[in-house]
Structure 1
Amino acid sequence: MSLIVVAAVAFCLAPCLVAAADTVSARRPLRGNDTVVSAQGKFEAGLFSPGSSGRFYLGIWYKNIPVHTVIWVGNRASPLSNATSAELRVSPDDGNLELVGFTADGSAAPGVVWSSNLSLSSPGSSNNTAEIRDNGNLVLLDGGNSSNVLWQSFDHPTDTLVPEAWLGEDKLTGVYQRMTSWRNAEDPAPGLFSNTIDTNGTSEFFYFWNGSRMYWRSGVWTGRVFALLPEAVNNVLFNQTYVETPAHRRLSWALYDNATITRQVMDNTGQAKQYIWVPASQSWQFFWAAPTVQCDVYAVCGALGVCDQRSQPSCRCPPGLEPASENDWRLSDWTGGCRRSSPLVCARNGSTTDGFQALTNVKLPDDPLALDHAKSKAECESACLNNCSCQAYTFSDGGGCAVWHGEFRNLQQLYADSTASGSELHLRLSESGLRDLSRGSKKKGGVEWPVVLGIVLACVAALVASALLAWVLLSRRRRRLRNMANEKGSSLAVYSYGDLRAATKNFSERLGGGGFGSVYRGVLKDGEGNSTEVAVKKLEGLRQGDKQFRAEVNTLGRIQHVNLVRLLGFCSSGDDKLLLVYEYMPNGSLEGYLFKAGSSCPSWRDRYGIMLGVARGLAYLHDGCRERIIHCDVKPENILLDKDLCAKIADFGMAKLVGRDFSRALTTMRGTVGYLAPEWISGLPISAKADVYSFGMVLFELISGRRNADLQGEGAGQSSSSGAAGGEEEEDSNGGSDADAGRRVLMFFPVWAAGKVAEGEVGAVADPRLRGDVSEEQLERACRTACWCIQDQEEHRPTMAQVVQALEGVIPVHMPPMPRALQNLVNNPLPLCGMPLLFMQGCSKAVVM
């Protein structure tokens, strides 16, 4: 999916002034583009048309949110062909709320396309009224008693659940409330995915494909949460409750802060997704999803489709197949599946020229048919070919022969690091389809003589042309890099190598460095004799340096924020002379400020200001830019401090730009041990939540004044945490002996700190050098926020926008659960040297504190 794929869709609305009413009645219907608005202006009801569909629906949406977001649809399966002749009214005959108009199927006369469908026989029924309330509930009120609600939209949810709404069972009527996905972004007709409470009477909720196949469950209500839902769902923004009475059993939820705008959607990709409206970025921010992994949704890619968690989008067609509907796939509706580019050829007598294409390392589709009589792969293949309805087969020595007839579903691509074991599936294709695949392979590297001759001729032409183009390429390279300074409104300066060499006194005052080069202090003078202190980053290494150079200029050249280091200009004078010029930070890096031996102890006020500055900078990168930027290497060394101790995030050489149509990126593991999120180490695609994890680790270091992970022992040097604390060497709390000499011991502070936070002893986590001079309320907020940030599962972590709100005190921060990986460290502290999470090698034991 993606920067985040937001479930909100742009809707085509009539570009005319719309009249807004308070209520709907028989005497005062809504016609055409008229709407009814809630008392405080939070919600609006009327007709809308999704996308470019040209179909019209009765809906409810947020009134004051610029991204038109519908929370309820009336006539989902019966759209109107136009809005001008439509009318929402209270029926003068029976008092029902009804929508009248021309249906999109070409009806000759207007008719009732949707109704509240109640059996009303009271004399005053024609006086009933309808109104939209500030919680988004459309209600039909008794004309004789306005406090009596006859019908309400909350009893009939579509794909969205908002605060104060509910899901469950009405025991009096036997009706179940359920959320059902839209078919796609432009069609609110009921899709294939839905959820509802257990019909057998338990408190558990189930997610279904096609109303029959269960693919996810919430777990039963524990009295506080649903057993299989992350605790973050019930702790950060709202209080989720389950209630059972003689009249109903249902789930509902209420906000801690009524100013928060959030909604839960049964997405057309089969996941229930929670979104929060972020006013700063004017967008919906993804919060969590269930199931958390897209490919855990049954048959999300439809018949013959392959779900690949590491691709964007997650669904693709196997070789030789294509989407059954390109338009549906464009709208992220993959449930129509795939079809063969060339149809199978099979005579009634079973003769065929079809063959098979092997799909390796896949999770096999569901519901295979075992063929016990086929004892070898050849016999299994022959049995499939001799049956015209056979679509695929698999054979293994342990599992024997299995075949699939008709359209199989739920095929998944696996990878080497997957916990599940993969198999080989042989997909049936026509002879022409196999020939097309073979021809495509030859185009990629075959040895047919015409192809070889073409390659030779192309190479000769390239050699002849290369001499003429060499000087053009060299000049274009410099011109292209200079043009980078002018892209997207940037004001970057272009410096010569000689200017920067003179400014840095031949690169004599080194400020620091990393894997991609060194940073030097310099002084630049303008034509009027004014001097400006700068930091010049000299990238070292040709190919790698050029890549990092481009990444950093392209990233920083398009963004400006008070908490991001400012790139002033650059120099490109040959592959070995790539330099970046930044504003100078007189207080250096946060690493030196916190951990350098002999440095003064930063005050709590300064630390909290740095926390907020870094959080705001990351929130801007994730949500405030045209493209989401994942920094990928958040650590104290990459946080710089100006003369006023304003924190500025630096070093964007590893940053990853993610388009707004995607929520995550697949990238090789990089960064710094101790700050890497678990999903990154596991080789999974990363999202902005990887930065959140790293920030949580930095937060612990700011709070405690010590490194999170220290190595002590021969060859490791003195612990930086002990150095920061005054130079006293810490003892091995496990009672080290002479036998441990020459070995290294891992000191992982967050294990102990998270335990103290869970026990409510946050004061023990603060830097002892502060001698208790801290704000207890801020300390508790920072500690709890840090624990939320370092949760194992990325969907449990807050967004950086939420982190900013938490640190600012805008939203409450409730007690976080102990991260499971850290809990394992607490329960099993010794055998950690080989833990993949930490990538520590050569240590003999690990110490929790």
Structure 2
Amino acid sequence: MVVNYSVTLIMLSLLILSSQHLISCQPPEAFITNSSTSWINSRAHSYVVNSTDGATLTPILSREGNETLLVCGFLCDYNGTACVFGVLISPNTFDSYLSFPRLVWSANRNNPVRANATLQLRQDGGLFLIDLDGTLIWSTSTSGKVVAGFNLTVMGNLVLFDKSNDIIWQSFDHPTDTLVPGQLMVPGQKLISRISATDWNEGMFTLDFKSSGLSAYIESNPHQLYVSRLGVEKPFQFPGLSFSLKDYDSRGMLTISIAFLNARFMRLGVDGHLRVYHWRGSWSEEADLFTYYIDECGYPTVCGTYSVCGNGQCSCPQTAVDQTNFLQQINYRHPNQGCVLVTPITCEHSQYHILIELKDIAYIPLYLQYGTNKTDLENCKRSCLSNCSCKAAQFQFSGPNNTMGDCALLNDVFSFTNNDGASDKTTLFIKVQNSSNLQASPPLISTEKKSKRVPTIVGSTIGASFGLLFIVLTGFAYIFRGRKGLDEGEEEFLDQIPGMPTRFSYEELTVMTENFSEKLGEGGFGSVFEGTMSDGTKIAVKHLQGVGNVKKSFLAEVAAIGSIQHVNLVKLVGFCAEKSHRLLVYEYMANGSLDRWIFHGTWENSLTWDVRKKIISDVAKGLAYLHEDCNNKIIHLDIKPQNILLDHDLNAKVSDFGLSKLVGKDESKIVTAMRGTPGYLAPEWLNEVITEKVDVYSFGVVILEIICGRKNLDRHQDEDDMHLLSLFMIKAVETQLLEMVDKNSEDMQLHRKEAVEMMKIAAWCLQSDYIKRPSMSLVVKVFQGLVTAETDLDYSFTFPTMTRRVPGTNQERESVVGISLPLPSLLSGPR
């Protein structure tokens, strides 16, 4: 391998020099003149930078070079509902006008803000991005450091510096999907593609840099590599650009070594390609870097799912058995969209699963992680058939005349490739549903008995049939008339909701969930299934079941969150209202529900004090938004750990709005029947006159459960300690709250005093008189350190009781609803 030390040293020197000539927050050539330390994402000061999609830019800092113009600011979609704070690169036209810009870095790609969001520069903390509702979306995490200002260097590096011009924080340490000339990529950093050209959220492809080299993979379980150890095996160069890996001060370092100020950048694309773009009157592709390592068929999604790539063409593999074809093209005009199973596989009929053998076809990832070593072909097949999650299996023989080999079970299937003439002999099997076996055979009747009974059977059958037909037709007419009125009313209601999410057909959701085969959990109104959209985005699909309650739950949930978006609310991607089918489609939450982490043994130790504190803060922000920032006040009515979901980074989001209530802004109280989960119900429920403070009470219970690491009713405890709120009252009077902090977590024990302060906020939320409870926005301000919490608290909590008849008697007795066992929920997996 040839190492270009001189070029790398030059690039390092240029990086150091550009970082030393730092200026104050006001650059000499800025689009706006503002010396304050707060910038508002104002549409009045923005201008359109992309006429195709109407994207607008509100600039903050700019830097001009020979061929490039760099600017940092707010980039928004056409209506200002999704904005990111980032850095853009543009060709320099020497007229201070940003033309054809490209986003090369963003702070909040997964958590967009809205118009009128604010970027703050604080001397004691760095940069803070705050949404319109006061929610902290992003920060440089430099609290406690004295910040003199920030600057945009000529290479596009956003830098925080102190009074000595030393770098405190820089955007180059946190790449997104793009590298610019002179930017170094060091071990531990990643590039993650976007979902699409207009959707900045993290997509499916990742370029991971480790000391052993670069690896590119697609997000799946497990990760599926399609490029491995790049830069170690095949370094390459071409005019104007070198791309290599070298050892430098005991660490690897990747750099694009090109002319210093040329208008170029390198990006990991939405299709997994790593391309370099150069300005030549337009942004043109200069190089496709992975081309030197893999061909076009080496990319996992080049032909979609279940499709074969070969000779520049995409086609469905031949899977016909006994004149039954198991795969079909999704779109015959666009074969690169892939294929789909004619009959989706389902675990409920796993006895009818079969494997279709594909000769001379291999799975596209070049570096499969084989789960079983030194097994035979038949055992590999049996392993896939016995594992419902397995969708395909690839067997790689150890040698040309060997019957043993390695077996890889695939839970996610993308594209295939022709394997003619390959040195490694492989056999690929696709799991399919043999639908012909699902048809039940009619019962057999002997010929002799059948002939004797024909006259009797015919006469009675005709008479009975007319009577039955009349009853059935009458019933259908009644049901159809009622159903028609229901659907028309529901359709009218849905059409009146502004900003409705995507409406899916039942057939589309059946394909996305592979016939609802992967169940994530189930609750009172139905089951939740894992699914994948055509662009690879994972989703969770709630299939509602029932009649009256289902309609209410469905309409309530669509009305509540169909048109709102907040970083701490689970996003409703879409819905289905087709005939009797009612389904809700949500964003996928990889770490499941909160109860999984605080109630179940091995998960407890994973949550540190900082993580628990952030989860509590996230939930508070989500509820504050529902109560105060929506067009209509939304009272959730069912706050509990099972309805708090965690994403890949353990960010908390409130979910399940099936019981929620929409309230007008001018309404202070509402009257409604008791709803929610026992154990989290506020005492005022007995009067059926409630406010949003019932959510505050439930939130207080959840805080205690998080801090104590146990349920509010735990029958495994001693009788005196069984009820958490009763124990809380006793320990508060005895000033022994330290004893309640989760004993199963070593980290929590190190932060017991801080945890007790959080428990006092819970007590504030649990006040029996709802007027004395804080609003959720006030709780958020306490967490942000803007106000102090109330200290004059009453620990004599009351719980709602309701009269229940004793089975088998005429007697009635009171049962405590507020601390009774919560309704069971299995929704603790990813969803």
Return the TM-score normalized by structure 2: 0.38
Highest RCO, 1 vs 2 (Cα 8 Å, sep ≥ 6): 1
